[in-house]
């Protein structure tokens, strides 16, 4: 399960298609340095993204399994 404490880079490495979900929610700089150190929670805060909606979509896709 992907949580708010999961590192963005961990999700991207394990599930390259997650890039599309992050971009859909407005996290377009997932290739930046922040993506290598930030959690999903921190990234969502920085980009004013609805954290719960992002986590829901990530986990309802095949990525969260």
pLDDT at residue number 35:
76
Residue 63 in this model has a pLDDT that exceeds 70: no
Residue 65 in this model has a pLDDT that exceeds 60: no
pLDDT at residue number 64:
53
Count of beta carbons in the 10 Å neighbourhood of residue 30: 19
Nearest to 53 by CA among 27, 17, 30, 33: 27
pLDDT at residue number 62:
72
Query: What's the CA gap between 65 and 58, in Å, rounded?
Result: 10
Span 6-53, pLDDT tens digits: 999 999 888 888 999 999 999 876 667 777 889 999 999 989 999 999
pLDDT at residue number 61:
86
Query: What's the CA gap between 52 and 2, in Å, rounded?
Result: 11
């Amino acid at each position: 399960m992907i949580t708010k404490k999961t590192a963005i880079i961990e999700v991207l490495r394990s599930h390259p298609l997650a890039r599309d979900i992050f971009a859909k929610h407005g996290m377009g700089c997932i290739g930046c340095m922040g993506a290598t150190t930030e959690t999903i929670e921190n990234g969502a805060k920085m980009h004013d993204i609805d954290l719960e909606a992002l986590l829901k979509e990530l986990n309802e896709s095949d990525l969260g399994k």
